[in-house]
């Protein structure tokens, strides 16, 4: 976007509904608002604040102050130098010559002076989450008849319209290969692709865009370092230090390298606060240490590590540092110059960008000394029959046709995040994360993993937890089917960490800036419903055949095979007389506990998800007995359910069962 000395906006819709990449507001010296009419007041989203030296000055007639005056319009007679802190920047529009009856006024920065007292809390109706949520089309839908609450952002983030349109525009207007053609489409695609690289470099404050290598994802970026740098620089007896809280993608590649080179992998355990023990890490460092592989933010514990300290200690013994920043780059300011890390990896899909692309940052001198990772087109300088020479980085590590559209989409995502401001995102998420953590403490029999937030301990915007007697997969399924809340269950690609904690799996709720306090409240309400209070257990339910079961008010379903008959068998009564369920189980206050272990579970390596495996002759570990009473002759009988291959929370596997729900 070109820089102008002033900008005119004749409708607040141009701000609120801006769909293109946002550039910073602070590139403008003046902003001019048309007199605001009633038809354009409501969508305006702005907070009136005290005027800082670098603020944008706006003048007009009336201004909605979502942050300052929730009840309506903040009317100001003079309106000289009203300062608006907008969450967006906006499109430049040309003056409308047909609207000549309007007058406009501008003021300088020096005259800004308006202050509004008692602003709304950061999580209030004018919060960043409320303001940005309209930009994400996927969030405007209902799932199972309820509003979607998406709390699986640590797995992947949702995409704003700006990113979707950037992808569409590329495929509609510029689709071509890069670095290979001289025609217009190829040149345009190449320019946009390389522009995305520059945006990534600026986003993390790299010295040069040539220090950014595009990869398929962060996993490939780590493998690139492992096979290119690791195999070239590690030998038998050398040590690589990791923590037990690392993602599988940061562990498995170095296991391969260690097997090939004879290098030794050493792992740092956790403190009593369930944070990787950086004190022990420092003790492990020695002249044998060649590399430290460490996460910036744990995808399970939510701990934020002091990378600056770790890098300094590692460099003191001559070791390099690889930082897994997948959970930090989308949520906070990451400055590679300040961190001084040798390598850093991140993934587009976690930062509101497309899937299928990530990036590796590497210091120029390290990348220049590393051999290629993959062979093919574009990564070569010259190819002969008996040997080849290779291009300079980053081309050396980008063999074949790259993910062009995805790179352009990543660039659009960076524009979007930059327009909001990473510090603004971080500050908002800290407040929302603390609210989530505090709210979870009100849930009975819950265990939250990781450190408690405090002034000395940083905690990211995610919480991994378990509820007693409820398997995390059952919990996640229940929240999805009954409350339309999306969370993650499984080991989150961190099995060593879960074993260290003494568990097989956990549930995880993770936030992003487009989440709101209401999302957290809905989640907590759903979570509390997993415990079935005695007052909510239905003691009776009438049904004829199992094809016509009425719903119990219980929260979890038990499916009964349709082949069972439920009519009365007494001699005094006619068949098909209605029955009444007077009791279905004794002892447990939660149907989740009753349903526990009714089907075998198998850990699948894909994504760490715990999946049920149904067997033809699978039997329950505990029987469920339906005690029946005939409505005609009052004959009492029991209906035992001994097999449960059709059992599944909220429904059966293949439609062969009927839910008592």
Tokens at 57, concatenated: 């000055």
Q: Are 300 and 494 in contact (CB under 8 A)?
A: yes
Measured CA to CA, the distance from residue 611 to residue 606 in angstroms comes to 10
Quote the pLDDT of residue 30.
32
Quote the pLDDT of residue 116.
26
Query: 143-156+421-528 maps to which CATH number?
Result: 3.90.1150.10
Instruction: Give the chain's radius of gyration (CA, Å).
Output: 30
Quote the pLDDT of residue 32.
36
Q: Band of the pLDDT at 258, cuts 50, 70, 90?
A: very high
Of residues 47 and 519, which shows the higher confidence score? 519
Of residues 40 and 420, which shows the higher confidence score? 420
What's the pTM?
0.68
Q: Are 463 and 527 in contact (CB under 8 A)?
A: no
Instruction: Give residue-wise pLDDT tens across range 84-115.
Output: 334 333 333 333 334 333 332 322 222 222 22
Tokens at 632, concatenated: 């005609």
Q: Are 166 and 408 in contact (CB under 8 A)?
A: yes
Quote the pLDDT of residue 409.
98
Strand partners, 541: 581
Rounded mean pLDDT of 277-303? Answer: 98
583-610 as b/e: b if 16+ CB within 10 A: ebbeeeebbbbbbbebbeeeeeeeebbb
Rounded mean pLDDT of 212-238? Answer: 98
Query: 359: which residues sit within 8 A by CB, 6+ positions away?
Result: 200, 212, 213, 214, 215, 221, 345, 346, 348, 410
Q: Band of the pLDDT at 572, cuts 50, 70, 90?
A: low
Count other C-beta atoms under 10 Å from residue 60's C-beta. Answer: 18
Measured CA to CA, the distance from residue 512 to residue 395 in angstroms comes to 33
Render 69-107 in DSSP notation, one character per residue.
Answer: -TTSEEE-SS-TTEEEE-S---------TT-TT------
Instruction: Give residue-wise pLDDT tens across range 126-138.
Output: 899 999 999 999 9
* H or E segment to which residue 57 belongs: strand 57-59
Give catalytic status of residue 493 as yes or no.
yes
Of residues 558 and 504, which shows the higher confidence score? 504
Quote the pLDDT of residue 122.
79
Measured CA to CA, the distance from residue 443 to residue 280 in angstroms comes to 34
Rounded mean pLDDT of 548-572? Answer: 40
Quote the pLDDT of residue 454.
80
Measured CA to CA, the distance from residue 267 to residue 250 in angstroms comes to 12
Measured CA to CA, the distance from residue 525 to residue 534 in angstroms comes to 17
Phi first, then psi: what are they for 356, rounded to 5°? 85, 10
Q: Band of the pLDDT at 350, cuts 50, 70, 90?
A: very high
Measure Cα distances from 186 to 178, 197, 408 in Å: 6, 17, 14
Quote the pLDDT of residue 205.
98
Mean pLDDT, the chain, integer: 74
Quote the pLDDT of residue 271.
95
Count other C-beta atoms under 10 Å from residue 137's C-beta. Answer: 12
11-39 as b/e: b if 16+ CB within 10 A: bbebbbebebbbbebeebebbbbbebeee
Strand partners, 266: 241
Lowest mean pLDDT among 179-183, 388-392, 514-518, 521-525: 179-183
**What is the three-class DSSP state of 361?**
strand
Q: Which of 352, 463, 493, 630 is catalytic?
A: 493
pLDDT greater than 90 at residue 607: no
Quote the pLDDT of residue 125.
84
List the domain boundaries for the chain: 1-120, 143-156+421-528, 534-659
Q: Band of the pLDDT at 574, cuts 50, 70, 90?
A: low
């Amino acid at each position: 976007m070109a820089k102008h000395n002033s900008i005119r906006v004749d409708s607040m819709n141009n701000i609120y509904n801006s769909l293109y990449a946002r550039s910073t507001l602070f590139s403008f010296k003046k902003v001019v608002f048309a007199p605001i009419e009633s038809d354009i007041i409501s969508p305006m989203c702005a907070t009136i604040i005290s005027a800082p030296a670098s603020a944008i000055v706006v003048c007009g007639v009336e201004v909605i102050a979502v942050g300052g005056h929730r009840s309506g319009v903040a009317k100001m007679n003079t309106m000289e130098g009203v300062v608006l802190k907008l969450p967006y920047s906006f499109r430049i529009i040309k003056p409308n010559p047909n609207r000549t009856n309007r007058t406009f006024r501008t003021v300088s920065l020096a005259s800004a002076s308006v202050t509004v007292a008692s602003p709304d809390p950061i999580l209030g109706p004018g919060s960043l989450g409320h303001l940005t949520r309209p930009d994400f089309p996927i969030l405007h839908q209902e799932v199972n008849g309820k509003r979607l609450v998406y709390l699986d952002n640590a797995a992947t983030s949702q995409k704003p319209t700006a990113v979707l349109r950037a992808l569409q525009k590329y495929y509609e207007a510029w689709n071509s290969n890069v670095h290979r053609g001289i025609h217009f489409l190829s040149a345009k695609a190449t320019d946009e692709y390389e522009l995305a690289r520059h945006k990534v470099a600026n986003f993390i404050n790299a010295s040069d865009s040539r220090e950014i290598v595009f990869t398929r994802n962060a996993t490939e970026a780590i493998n690139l370092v492992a096979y290119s740098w690791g195999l070239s620089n590690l030998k038998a007896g050398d040590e690589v230090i990791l923590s037990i809280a690392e993602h599988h993608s940061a562990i498995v590649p170095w296991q391969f390298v260690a097997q090939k080179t004879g290098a030794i992998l050493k792992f740092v355990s956790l403190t009593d606060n369930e944070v990787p023990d950086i004190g022990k890490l420092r003790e492990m460092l020695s002249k044998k240490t060649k590399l430290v592989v460490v996460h910036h933010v744990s995808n399970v514990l939510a701990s934020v590590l002091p990378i600056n300290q770790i890098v300094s200690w590692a460099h003191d013994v001559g070791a390099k540092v690889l930082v897994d920043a997948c959970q930090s780059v989308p949520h906070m300011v990451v400055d590679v110059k300040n961190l001084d890390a040798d390598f850093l990896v991140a993934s587009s899909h976690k930062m509101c960008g497309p899937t299928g692309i990530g990036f590796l940052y590497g210091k120029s001198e390290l990348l220049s000394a590393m051999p290629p990772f993959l062979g093919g087109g574009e990564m070569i300088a010259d190819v002969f029959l008996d040997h080849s020479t290779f291009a300079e980085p980053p081309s050396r590590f980008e063999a074949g046709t790259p993910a062009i559209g995805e790179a352009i989409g990543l660039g659009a995502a960076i524009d979007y995040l930059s327009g909001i401001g990473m510090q603004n995102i971080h500050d908002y998420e800290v407040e929302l994360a603390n609210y989530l953590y505090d709210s979870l403490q009100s849930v009975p029999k819950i265990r939250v993993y990781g450190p408690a937030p405090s002034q000395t301990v940083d905690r990211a915007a995610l919480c991994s937890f378990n509820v007693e007697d409820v398997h995390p997969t059952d919990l996640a399924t229940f929240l999805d089917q009954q409350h339309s809340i999306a969370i993650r269950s499984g080991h989150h690609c961190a099995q060593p960490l879960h074993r260290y904690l003494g568990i097989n799996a956990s549930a995880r709720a993770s936030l992003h800036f487009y989440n709101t306090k209401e999302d957290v409240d809905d989640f907590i309400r759903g979570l509390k419903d997993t415990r079935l209070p005695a007052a909510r257990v239905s003691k009776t339910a009438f049904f004829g055949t199992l094809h016509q079961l009425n719903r119990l008010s219980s929260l979890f379903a038990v499916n009964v095979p349709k082949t069972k008959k439920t009519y009365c068998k007494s001699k005094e009564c006619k068949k098909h007389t209605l029955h009444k369920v007077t009791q279905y189980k004794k002892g447990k206050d939660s149907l989740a506990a009753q349903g526990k272990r009714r089907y075998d579970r198998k850990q699948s390596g894909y994504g760490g998800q715990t999946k049920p495996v149904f067997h033809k002759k699978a039997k329950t570990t505990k029987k469920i007995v339906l005690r029946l009473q005939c409505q005609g002759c009052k004959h009492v009988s029991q209906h035992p359910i001994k097999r449960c291959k059709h059992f599944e929370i909220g429904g059966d596997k293949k439609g062969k069962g009927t839910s008592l729900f």
